[in-house]
Amino acid sequence: MLQALNIITAFRQGDESAAGTHPWLLKLISAEERIVNLERITSIGQLTHANPVLDYVERTLKILDSLPVSYWIKELLEEVLVWAETAKGGTMRDRLRWQQSGIQLFLHNIGSAQLYERHIRQGRGTLSPHEEMVHTLILTHGLLGQHIRGEVAFEENLPLMKLTEEGRLTEDELIRLLIPLNHCIIAAVSEELWHSVEEEIKQLIRKLAQGSVPDRWTYEERLRRLRTASIARGEDFDRQFQEIRRQTDLPAALHGFQDMTLWYVEAALQDFSLEEFVKVLLLALHPEKQSPEDQWSSDSVSHLSFEPLMNDMYYDYKGVKKLNVYKKRMIEQYLRQTDWEACLQGQASANPHLRHRIERKPELPDTVFFTFEFSQAAEKLIDFCIEAEKSPLYEKAVLLLFDLFGLRRDAYDRFHNEESYLNDMNSTGDYKKVILDYITGTAVLDIGPGGGVLLDLIEERMPHARPVGIDISSNVIEALEKRKRLEHKTWEVLKGDALNLRDYVKPGSVDTVIFSSILHELYSYIETDSSRFNTATVEAALLSAYEVLAPGGRIIIRDGIMTEPEDTWRRIRFLEADGMEWLIRYASDFKGRVISYEQLADAEVRMPVNDAMEFLYTYTWGPEAYVHEVQEQFGYFTPTQYAECIRRTLGPEALIRVQQHYLQEGYAEALADRIEFMDEDGKAVTLPDSTCLYVIEKPTRRKGHTLL
């Protein structure tokens, strides 16, 4: 085993004296500030009790120890690897002292090389040829990987060429040295990552050894590499890039970009769109000149760091690193309101609660730091949203945040668990298959497509159809567009308002409009005449759909239903200890209407049947969904009321072809061990119908007559 691994093992087993005789270890274990690339971290909370830098160094050493390389290479690389991350270590006092003495702590390869050189020179003042080689390898460590990612120009690796030019290594020796070094550095992040870049790394190493420099990327090629992770998740780079080129002169706008090294750019910005990404680059490259210290150009800056933004864009949610989507949405709005010309002037949209900030440090004249800065009020409100994620206060918190930034709030845009929500929606495919039997024609609109499961079903089973999903939620549309590209789907998605479909599609051009479990959300969240839970919203959605239907076209509704007669009562006996607490909390928090119940015993209540079912829908979903489900009323019409609403809204000519209602599969099974459902005499009864299916047809007209 490598000596450095033995030293780390001894320290982990309680031998603290090891740190006193090995300065590299002392620096790594004394780190008080967690300086890591959050792109590869899964839990921010765990960083408080861990030393990710030491862990990473240990992984690199274990990989080196396992590689079949010669002794001299292993010995040399061991020394490189133990020092390569030291600029991320040290106590706060150490780091302040290092920084004041000229150590470059923000560019960790440079800072680590400086710390190594200072350690060597303390003894004798000069570096031996071996130590100069170690210094060069520390200085350039990781840069080939960063080059592949588009973060640094190939020329940053040129110090390695001197090792052969000055005769210290042969070409073959340099290759044999650099391949295992990069293997250790990259595989310690991810073995999968190493395998994905191994061949390109080896090609670049051969060029270095041969003294050849590859052609410099065009700005388009570099942007593409910087968006590798986003493209892998479905970004349509080519289409979006061409759209940006139509709007601004990118080569001129990105002047200086090609010579600049970028730090943490992917970790900070991969979740933003390409347009937003480029706008951020332009704001960083073209600062607004308001004071003498702002008088700089990209020609005088070598490094652009997004480390402050990266650190600000994530938080810990139940032990998992989570993107701060609240900040992301506000930044998106900020960039959306900033046109390209304003970006070139460094003049983004005026907002009292958000601005971009470019920071320069006197000790780092060639480095610029970019981030977004929120007002204290906005920061506190965002913190409130995060804290409220597990409570009914969440809805109010998000509304306050949107009011602060002047944004429209569609409450069915689930902020903090959108991904899991879309996955849940995709698991309901079997329930939605029944809809396929009633689709007519080719032009099909799926309103509120969620995770896209119905779009998938239509594409797979009805290849003649042209399904389009329409949703008002930005993150739903983003997720669907990426999945469409990744999975090569043919369906389309469109950001739009269900209550105004004629603004997006031509009236009379659609064959089928589908509302699958979406009308109850419109009813619950959209204000009509200044009130939510308003049947006028449902009527507006039906009218909107009917208007765009072609003659013979259909509206298909699959949604919640209430039981008739409404004055039926049921008893619920809870089999779980906290069941009654759930009901008490639910009755207090539910926004749709007053939930009535009469407590008969510690674990038993008597309730109107529709209040009982409304509660059970939320009880079935569980605590993760509670914060959202308590805002929604699933059943809003009885069968009779539904039919009356359709006729009243669409007129007597609208034909109700199908009118069904049934208990959705899975409810009874999910509740079997949690409750007993009884009539008023205490006799067990089945759950009433939960779901309806309506098919409404627009009649075909010819010469003033209706043809049925």
Q: What is the pLDDT of residues 22-56, one digit of tens each?
A: 999 999 988 766 665 555 555 545 545 678 889 99
- The answer to whether residue 630 scores a pLDDT higher than 50 is yes
Q: In the chain, pLDDT over 90 holds for what percent of residues?
A: 60
Split at pLDDT 50, 70, 90, the class of 288 is confident
Q: SS3 of 515, please? A: strand
Q: CB-hemisphere CA count at 13 Å for 527?
A: 7
Split at pLDDT 50, 70, 90, the class of 19 is confident
Query: Phi then psi for 558, rounded to 5 degrees?
Result: -125, 115
Q: SS3 of 552, please? A: strand
Distance between CA atoms of 658 and 89, rounded to whole angstroms?
69
Give me the mean pLDDT over the 50-78 stretch. 93
Measured in residues, the chain has a length of 708
Q: Which residues contact 489 (CB under 8 A, 6 or more apart)?
A: 452, 455, 456, 459, 483
Distance between CA atoms of 409 and 186, rounded to whole angstroms?
42
Question: Quick one: pLDDT at residue 220?
Answer: 92
Task: Give the long-range contacts of residues 341-347, CB within 8 A, separation 24 or more.
Answer: 341/248, 343/253, 343/279, 343/282, 343/283, 343/286, 344/248, 344/253, 344/282, 344/286, 345/286, 345/288, 346/283, 346/286, 346/287, 346/288, 346/289, 347/288
Give me the mean pLDDT over the 362-372 stretch. 87
Question: Quick one: pLDDT at residue 225?
Answer: 94
pLDDT tens sequence across 245-277: 999 999 888 887 888 899 999 889 988 999 999
How far is CA 461 from each of CA 490, 491, 515, rounded to the nearest angstrom?
Answer: 13, 13, 19
Question: Quick one: pLDDT at residue 705?
Answer: 38
Lowest-pLDDT choice from 166-170, 644-648, 675-679: 166-170
Considering the entire predicted model, what is its pTM?
0.76
Radius of gyration of the chain (CA): 31
Query: Phi then psi for 323, rounded to 5 degrees?
Result: -65, 135
Asked, as a colleague might, if the bond just before 565 is cis with ω within 30 of 0, I would say: yes
Question: Quick one: pLDDT at residue 436?
Answer: 95
Distance between CA atoms of 596 and 610, rounded to whole angstroms?
10
As beta bridge partners, residue 697 has 554, 655
Q: In the chain, pLDDT over 70 holds for what percent of residues?
A: 90
Query: Phi then psi for 568, rounded to 5 degrees?
Result: -70, 140
Give me the mean pLDDT over the 377-384 stretch. 90
Question: Quick one: pLDDT at residue 296?
Answer: 53
Cα 276-358-263 angle, rounded to 5 deg: 70
Q: Which residues contact 246 (CB under 8 A, 6 or more apart)?
A: none
Token output for 204: 């670049």
Give the single-character DSSP code of 603.
T
The H or E element spanning position 591 is none
- The answer to whether residue 706 scores a pLDDT higher than 70 is no
Split at pLDDT 50, 70, 90, the class of 16 is confident
Token output for 398: 């998000």
Token output for 126: 């000069």
- Looking only at Cα atoms, what is the longest distance across the chain? 104
Closest CA to 490 of 549, 444, 554: 444
- The answer to whether residue 488 scores a pLDDT higher than 60 is yes
506: amino acid identity, one letter: K
